[in-house]
Amino acid sequence: MMALQDILFSQGFGTRRVCFGLIQMGHVAVGEPATVCLDPLERFDPQGLLFRVQGQPWAYHERAYLMLHKPAGYECSHKPGAHPGVYTLLPGPLRERGGGASAGVQAVGRLDHDTTGLLLLSDDGKFIHRMTSPRHHVPKVYQVTLKHPGDAAMVERLLAGVVLEDDPKPVKAAACELPAPTHLQLTLTEGKYHQVKRMVAAAGNRVEGLHRSRIGCIELPADLAPGQWRWLTADEVTSLTAKA
């Protein structure tokens, strides 16, 4: 059981003082049907709890696990430079969960500002580490638009391994195929800076467009439009961590 004030704080609705005030002013309703609660210290079982804050419906999540369809033109940074950050696409509470210096969800790995597709986000540090650590070999599938038509020799080079300028050890694709002359499907199990672009360049071609379609067993849903996000289901989180 948790005090309602603490539940709101844990979900990112402001400091404990702010949450206290929201409740006392009648801005928080709990349950279905929603009933206004005016006591910040009234205790509830948070698991499965539904509530509304200033009319905004919310469900309690002990940890946040999300997928976002990243559009082009966004940086995976809380302090972006020339482009807006992907976190601006999320509701405020997800950006403020937990409080402190590392508040909010974090991107599970990064995509370049001009790369689109599946991005996972979480506030679970262990989950982020398991999904991004090279030793767990989580496959990530990319759809690559090439400047020049590819060929079997390029595919063979990517599968055999290419040498990047800052790493003498060859970097290999886990899988690689050419569904169309200028369309390359590439699977990687590690993440280096601009890795797909640099690998394709080392193989004698150039990336004109890049889209991540899958991470592990999770594929970007066709009905999740660019800029939209949703919670991962419990089964999706389990399937990711079971194979990570």
Whether 123 is catalytic is: no
Sign of CA dihedral 33, 91, 142, 73: positive
**Residue 168 confidence (pLDDT):** 79
Would you put residue 137 in left (φ > 0), alpha (ψ -120 to 50) or beta?
left
Query: pLDDT for 154-169, tens place per residue?
Result: 999 999 999 888 777 8
Would you put residue 87 in left (φ > 0), alpha (ψ -120 to 50) or beta?
alpha
The Cα–Cα gap between 93 and 91 comes to 6
| pTM more than 0.85 | yes
DSSP-based helix, strand, coil % in the chain, nearest 5? 25, 30, 45
Query: pLDDT for 70-84, tens place per residue?
Result: 999 999 988 888 899
Find the length of the chain. 244
- For the record, the structure tokens of 235 come out as 């089964």
Which of 6, 112, 124, 235 is labelled catalytic?
A: 112
Contact (CB, 8 A) for 58 and 50: yes
Count of CB atoms situated within 10 Å of the CB of 179: 9
For the segment(s) 65-134+218-242, the CATH number from 3.30.470.20, 3.30.70.580, 1.10.3720.10, 3.40.50.300 is: 3.30.70.580
Q: Packing angle between helix 195-202 and helix 152-160, nearest 10 degrees?
A: 120
The Cα–Cα gap between 35 and 67 comes to 31
For residue 101, pLDDT over 70 is answered with no
**Domains 65-134+218-242 and 139-215 alike in fold:** yes
Domain 2-59 has CATH 3.20.20.10: no
Domains of the chain: which residue ranges?
Answer: 2-59, 65-134+218-242, 139-215
Q: Packing angle between helix 125-132 and helix 234-242, nearest 10 degrees?
A: 50
Residues of the chain with pLDDT > 70: what percent?
98
Q: Which fold has domain 139-215?
A: Alpha-Beta Plaits (3.30.70)
Segment 9-37 mean pLDDT:
94
